[in-house]
């Protein structure tokens, strides 16, 4: 996937003239004076060449081949048609006589079949009323002769085989194969197919003014007899057009060697821009493929260097992300998307690079990972954008600055409305840099206005981060702070159910959540994740709430009737039941891990000691494994902190007259016991962290139990109190 990202970045590099992509009309030329290194032609633009080709098509007459025998063929077709119609007139007369004389059916049948065959062979498409007109004495011959005469008159001028409106030129070339002559004729002097039809209609209406049936009949005969005598020669016309197009000069002017193309500080005009692009094209042609390979190699090198910054950071400092194929796929999808948008912006005239929403990636990576990963990704994309624009520092700096503001705006996100603030800050960042460019580099007002519009649209596109975040969270199973904030709401159904079924446990988890959150914040762990994990760590207790001491009433302990091993089994089962409930509620894996890890593999001490006491009298052994939680042990700072907070909060409830010294001793003992038992080995908690955690838990418990802090000189009073309590 990393290879795909690099390849995509190389592919989107401009393949045409360098100046075309790095210098725009109305820019200020900031480089040194540019002289022509050699004599070269100023090339016409693609639009100009296309316009000239279209002009050639309009001005070059199409070629038509004259059918010299068209008149004789027309007369022959007319005679053939009159003979066929005469035969049909005779057949129709016999059929009429047969009906009146009641002749044998066989003869009538033969005449009827002959009539039908004759009509079908002509395919005139006449209605019954039109056939009745032709079958009248002499009408068929008259109609055919009239139509033949009209067509012959039009052929003398010339009838084209195509409609006249399909001809772009004012003239047409007529070639005669017999004499091998050709002449250009004004297209208005010949008849197009459609114009000829309209002329025939007009003349037929004049001939048969009072007989509309005869008019339609004659038009049907025209459609049967008509043949154009000027046939379009497509191959010859195309060859002529190609020959004329080949005569188009691709250059408009000449730049002489050592001629000044542009001076430092000049405004790049259309003429100067054309000279620059022509120079680049000439260089490409003179150097052949060698310069193309050089450019490609240079592009590969700068792209590899750019992405090495980001991927080396992930490999060295964020190895868990780098080793997670799913997370790397997500990151690379975001990178490739921006790269492809860069390519579109470079190749579409109406789209600008400032329209590409790079800050969307900045915001998404900040929310899904952290600001450091987002900052390196933003830096990488900004550098790549600047490289694509020919080392454009202005674009690079604007993108980094705006992306940094976007990262800052969601660094500690607490609600989804912050995305609107991010959009505003990103817009402000871009506008600040663009304004600086206007003041320092002399950017034109028109270009500044255009880029301001593009960055405004860019900022609006940042609102896509909200739905995209929702999609990525569920597709890649990522838990963001926004999700954790939603889960921390105690009015969510699962926590609401816990408060109703096990109110004592619910109060316990609230206290543990406060303790764990404070301790996590003190050592730099994820305080929000720790709090959410604490809220859900004991949800399994709502299945059998009466078996847990915080939910029991005085003198009503169901464990009194159970054996210690069975009691331990019930107590340990709340871990499995909590996991099942969490999965049913689709809790994220980061939250689910707190359920089994908050006890780790610790021993259920009360029932273990009770079992030992009972078995000592019977001289039997107790299996310690039957009295341990299934685990696993905590695997992160957050789960380790929850284990300590949970144990400390539960134990502190058993203290009578809790004071500073007793709470401190309690916390020290529990932390030391968990450490010696190996429960904290996989948490990365240092001795310094444990010391800070103990102090934080102590201060929090002192606040809960309202124990007054010692003042100098009060140690003796506390010692007397401890002695009396002992």
Kindly tell me if the per-residue pLDDT of 509 is higher than 90: yes
pLDDT for position 291: 59
- Per-residue pLDDT of 335-388, as tens digits, reads 999 999 999 888 776 778 899 999 999 999 998 998 999 999 999 999 999 988
Neighbouring-strand partners of residue 183:
174
> What distance in Å separates the CA atoms of residue 159 and residue 171, rounded to the nearest whole number?
14
**Block residue for tokens 């000189």:** 713
Q: How many residues comprise the chain?
A: 726
pLDDT for position 719: 41
Query: Where does the pLDDT of residue 266 fall: very low under 50, low under 70, confident under 90, or very high at 90 and above?
Result: confident
**Domain-wise residue ranges, the chain:** 2-17+291-475, 63-240, 481-725
Q: Are 261 and 255 in contact (CB under 8 A)?
A: yes
Kindly tell me if the per-residue pLDDT of 712 is higher than 60: no
Helical ranges in 502-636 per DSSP H: 503-523, 527-536, 564-584, 589-592, 594-597, 605-618
Give first-to-last CA distance, the chain, whole Å.
68
Q: What is the mean pLDDT of residues 579-603?
A: 93
High-pLDDT (> 70) share of the chain, %: 92
Kindly tell me if the per-residue pLDDT of 721 is higher than 50: no
Kindly tell me if the per-residue pLDDT of 460 is higher than 70: yes
pLDDT for position 575: 93
Kindly tell me if the per-residue pLDDT of 512 is higher than 90: yes
pLDDT for position 388: 87
pLDDT for position 507: 94
pLDDT for position 315: 93
Helical ranges in 105-233 per DSSP H: 105-122, 128-134, 139-157, 193-207, 212-225
Assigned fold of 481-725: Hypothetical protein af1432 (1.10.3210)
Mean residue pLDDT across the chain: 86
Neighbouring-strand partners of residue 160:
230
> What distance in Å separates the CA atoms of residue 134 and residue 139, rounded to the nearest whole number?
5
Kindly tell me if the per-residue pLDDT of 104 is higher than 70: no
pTM beyond 0.85: no
Per the rule left: phi > 0, alpha: psi between -120 and 50, beta: everything else, 259 is beta
Q: How, if at all, do strands 63-66 and 171-176 pair? A: parallel
Query: Where does the pLDDT of residue 668 fall: very low under 50, low under 70, confident under 90, or very high at 90 and above?
Result: very high
Query: Where does the pLDDT of residue 577 fall: very low under 50, low under 70, confident under 90, or very high at 90 and above?
Result: very high
Query: Where does the pLDDT of residue 692 fall: very low under 50, low under 70, confident under 90, or very high at 90 and above?
Result: very high
- Per-residue pLDDT of 180-219, as tens digits, reads 788 889 988 999 988 999 999 999 999 888 888 888 988 9
- Per-residue pLDDT of 608-667, as tens digits, reads 888 888 876 555 577 888 889 998 999 999 999 999 999 999 989 888 888 888 899 999
């Amino acid at each position: 996937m990393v290879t795909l990202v690099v390849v995509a970045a190389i592919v989107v590099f401009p393949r045409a003239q360098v100046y075309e992509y790095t210098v725009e009309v109305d820019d200020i030329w900031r480089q040194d004076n540019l002289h022509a290194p050699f004599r070269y032609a100023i090339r016409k633009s693609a639009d100009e060449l296309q316009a000239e080709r279209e002009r050639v098509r309009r001005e070059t007459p199409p070629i038509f081949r004259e059918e010299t025998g068209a008149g004789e063929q027309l007369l022959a077709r007319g005679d053939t048609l009159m003979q066929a119609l005469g035969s049909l007139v005779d057949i129709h007369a016999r059929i009429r006589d047969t009906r009146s004389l009641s002749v044998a059916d066989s003869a009538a049948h033969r005449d009827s079949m002959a009539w039908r065959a004759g009509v079908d062979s002509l395919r005139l498409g006449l209605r019954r009323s039109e056939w009745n007109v032709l079958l009248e004495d002499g009408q068929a011959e008259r109609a055919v002769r009239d139509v033949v005469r009209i067509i012959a008159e039009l052929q003398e001028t010339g009838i084209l085989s195509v409609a006249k409106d399909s001809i772009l030129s004012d003239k047409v070339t007529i070639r005669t194969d017999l004499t091998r002559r050709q002449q250009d004729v004004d297209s208005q002097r010949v008849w197009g197919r459609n114009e000829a039809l309209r002329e025939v209609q007009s003349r037929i209406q004049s001939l048969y003014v009072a007989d509309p049936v005869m008019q339609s009949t004659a038009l049907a005969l025209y459609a049967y007899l008509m043949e154009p005598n000027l046939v379009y020669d497509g191959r010859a016309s195309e060859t002529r057009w190609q020959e004329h197009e080949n005569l188009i000069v691709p250059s408009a002017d000449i730049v002489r060697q050592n001629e000044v193309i542009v001076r430092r500080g000049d405004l790049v005009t259309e003429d100067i821009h054309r000279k620059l692009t022509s120079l680049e094209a000439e260089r490409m042609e003179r150097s052949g493929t060698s310069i193309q390979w050089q450019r490609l190699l240079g592009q590969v090198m700068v792209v590899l260097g750019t992405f090495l910054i980001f991927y080396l950071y992930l490999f060295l400092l964020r190895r868990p992300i780098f080793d997670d194929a799913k997370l790397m796929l997500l990151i690379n999808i975001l990178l490739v998307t921006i790269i492809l948008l860069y390519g579109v912006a470079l190749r579409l005239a109406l789209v600008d690079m400032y329209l590409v929403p790079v800050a969307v990636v900045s915001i998404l990576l900040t929310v899904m990972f952290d600001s450091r990963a987002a900052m390196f990704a933003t830096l990488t994309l900004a550098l790549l954008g600047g490289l694509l624009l020919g080392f454009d520092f202005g674009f690079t700096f604007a993108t980094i600055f705006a992306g940094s503001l976007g990262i800052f705006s969601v660094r500690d996100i607490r609600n989804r409305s912050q995305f609107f603030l991010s959009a505003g800050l990103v817009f402000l960042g871009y506008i600040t840099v663009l304004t600086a460019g206007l003041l320092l580099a002399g950017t034109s007002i028109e270009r500044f206005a255009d880029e301001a519009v593009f960055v405004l649209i860019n900022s609006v596109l940042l609102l896509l981060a909200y739905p995209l975040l929702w999609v990525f969270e569920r597709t890649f199973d990522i838990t963001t702070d926004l999700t954790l904030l939603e889960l921390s709401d105690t009015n969510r159904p699962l926590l609401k159910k816990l408060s109703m079924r096990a109110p004592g446990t619910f109060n316990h988890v609230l206290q543990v959540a406060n303790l764990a959150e404070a301790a996590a914040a003190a050592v730099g762990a994820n305080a929000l994740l720790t709090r959410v994990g604490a809220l859900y760590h004991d949800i399994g207790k709502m299945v059998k709430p009466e078996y847990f001491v915080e939910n029991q009433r005085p003198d009503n302990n169901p464990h009194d009737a159970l054996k210690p091993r069975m009691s331990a089994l019930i107590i340990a089962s709340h871990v499995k039941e909590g996991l099942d409930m969490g999965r049913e509620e689709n809790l994220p894996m980061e939250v689910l891990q707190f359920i089994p890890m908050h006890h780790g593999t610790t021993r259920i001490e009360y029932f273990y000691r009770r079992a030992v006491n009972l078995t000592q009298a019977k001289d039997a052994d107790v299996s310690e494994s039957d009295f341990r939680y299934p685990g696993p042990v905590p695997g992160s700072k957050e789960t380790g902190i929850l284990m300590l907070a949970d144990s400390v909060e539960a134990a502190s409830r058993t203290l009578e007259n809790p004071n500073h010294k007793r709470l401190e001793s309690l916390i020290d003992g529990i932390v030391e016991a968990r450490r010696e038992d190996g429960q904290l080995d996989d948490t990365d908690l240092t001795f310094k962290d444990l010391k800070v955690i103990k102090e934080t838990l102590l201060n929090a418990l002192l606040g809960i139990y309202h124990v007054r802090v010692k003042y100098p000189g009060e140690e003796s009073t506390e010692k007397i109190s401890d002695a009396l309590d002992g």
